[in-house]
Amino acid sequence: MAPDFSATAHGRHVEFVDRTHYLADALLNGAVLATLLLTRASGWERADPAFAFAITGYMMMGAGRVIVAASRQLLDHELPDEQRKLIDALVLARSGARGISDFRTPDAGDRVFVEFHLEVDGDLSVQEGHGIIDAAERAITALFPKDTEVIGHLEPARVSGPKPNSRGV
């Protein structure tokens, strides 16, 4: 039975490491029993090193997966492009939204951060603009199963030319 590596997707790194460790222990104990039975039944003396190499390979693979999962947990990285595009579309779908700039989405392992500057119609009141941002923040938070912190900053849309690093209308 292969371990379930999906636990890291939800930030449960400790559970993932424990499961990997316990499975390696169980396989090692099973290999010792299999070696004893195989050696006794067939006399094949190389069963012990053969099982040892197989278990060592499995443990090295497990350690590699733990290292990759731990580095993802410790080091921030941007969300995948498809998730960024979905967030971008969700925000721009709000009535009155004109564009997004300074869009950042660091994924810090057990938590997602989304930060953006939302350009809105210049003739909207600050209260109306914040209503648009609040709705966008709630929609983004609903996308992720783990803790999500969304920070939207309100900006009036520029009248002349797009802002550097901006997307949208």
Res. 167: pLDDT tops 80: no
Give the orientation angle of helix 126-141 with respect to helix 81-92, to 10 degrees.
150
HSE toward the beta carbon, residue 168, CA cutoff 13 A: 30
When the pLDDT of each residue in the chain is averaged and rounded to a whole number, the result is 83
Cα separation, 141 vs 99, whole angstroms: 19
pLDDT tens track for 134-163: 999 998 988 887 788 899 999 888 655 555
Q: Name the token pair of 92.
A: 């721009």
Does domain 77-168 fall into CATH 3.30.70.1350? Answer: yes
Res. 10: pLDDT tops 60: no
Q: Per the confidence metrics, is the pTM higher than 0.85?
A: no
